[in-house]
Amino acid sequence: MFTQNAAEYLLHNAQRYGDFVWFRALGRDVFQFNHPELIADMLVRDGKYHHRNLVMQRSKAVLGEGMLTSEEPLHMRQRRLAAPAFHRARIQAYGEIIANMTARTVAEWDGQNIADAHPAMLLLALRIVGKTLFDIEVDDEVHTIAAAVDSFQTFLPLAFLPFPHLIQRLPLPAMRRIRRGRENVDRLIYRMIAERRADPTDRGDLLSMLMASVDAEAETDADARMSDAQLRDECVTVLLAGHETTANALSFALWLLGMHPEWQDALAAEIARVLGRRLPMAEDYSNLVLAEQVFAESLRLYAPVCVTSRTAAESYAYRGVTIPKGAFLLAPQFAVHRDPRWWDDPLRFDPGRFTKEAKAGRPRFAYFPFGGGNRQCIGEGLSWMEGVLCLSVLVQRLKFSLPEDASRRMAVQPSVTMRPKGRVMLRIERR
């Protein structure tokens, strides 16, 4: 029950047992934190006692030692090296790419009255990350990367099994798909790295910045820059994790707007006032206030990362309880983002929750779609830019509604990320 229906299970725990819940699962102690103060303890104050969660630890077989999986001090070194690539000024340069790629998706929907939004959002997000990360068009690689992502999603249940290193060597169909996915993605990424080594000209993409970054705190010149293997690991992280979470978030947002035409009409009016019929640029972001609020509310209800988790690296005392070494620690966005103490009528879609005044009245960790502490998502700024500009172009050009036979309840599939379960069918009309 815990691994297959984790989101609903943790929501039930929070509603029934309160802010601090202990239970046993998979032979381990599990501590669930459901209050913003306790989550701040877990992610910030007590972060020094924690390692990455079990799935991330064992995902090194796929992701390598990127920022998602590595431990200190390697994690902080990689974060320092990667930080310039995600600087605000660099992210703003991607505004035109995001808008143009979204307009391309709109054109490809032309003539379709009803469509499944999720595959289209996956392709859109993949195109954006391909251009911003590698400065390439990824359409020729779409099937390869999509197959790799799907195969990596199957890694979650395997990660909880005993003797993982033995399982990874077995000729299981799932492991064969995972190995094939890694080989195909590695072939693409190492080709890009080799081309840049031969011609290191800054192409304005993330890979150029990662290759040019120098760690001023490195002890030797050899340690000051990322090796090819380190570049590969960070590129895999951005390519796989970055595009899938964004696609899921956009799919949920479009479905919510289709179910709430009053908010969609208000958003369309804002876009018309700010942009007219032109495509948005990064400079428009601050004026697309409702677009940001819509995306924020979508992330509240359906955060692609629905549980933030850690593993206790050592035993330590916490509020009169001993957290034993190896215990799992969970901070579930899916539960906290639905807590009526912080969110009135929490299942209601209401972007008005994210006005400046409303945000100021809530604790920091009542809302944490991008995690927190020293492992807060380094790509958060790019994700906000992408979400707001993509939604603005889509709603500027198209009107979305739910088909008559569509369910008014979104079924979700929690795995490595939370994605829609089944198709996200929308009726599409041109504005």
Look at residue 141 in the predicted model and tell me its pLDDT.
74
Q: What is the reported pLDDT for 73?
A: 83
Ordered by where they begin, the domains of the chain are 6-430 (1.10.630.10)
DSSP string, 143-159: HHHHHHHHHHHTHHHHH
pLDDT of 326: 93
Between CA 27 and CA 34, with CA 33 as vertex, the angle to 5 degrees is 130
pLDDT of residue 140: 72
Specify whether the CB–CB gap between 34 and 338 falls below 8 A. Answer: no
Rounded Cα gap, residues 390 and 175, in angstroms:
35
CA distance 345 to 364: 20
CB atoms within 10 A of CB 99: 22
pTM above 0.85, yes or no: yes
Which pLDDT value is given to residue 161? 54
* Nearest-5° Cα angle at 260, 257 to 263: 75
Q: Is 390 within 8 Å of 100 (Cβ atoms)? A: no
With b for 16 or more beta-carbon neighbours within 10 A and e for fewer, the 5-25 pattern comes to ebbebbbebbeeeebebeeee
**What pLDDT does 3 receive?**
44
Predicted pLDDT of residue 175: 72
| SS3 (DSSP) at 399 | strand
Average pLDDT of adjacent 10-residue blocks, the chain of 431 residues: 68 96 91 98 94 71 76 83 82 92 93 89 91 81 72 60 59 74 84 89 86 79 82 85 88 97 98 97 96 98 93 95 96 97 97 96 96 90 96 97 85 79 92 88
- The pLDDT of residue 182 is 80
Rounded Cα gap, residues 318 and 312, in angstroms: 12
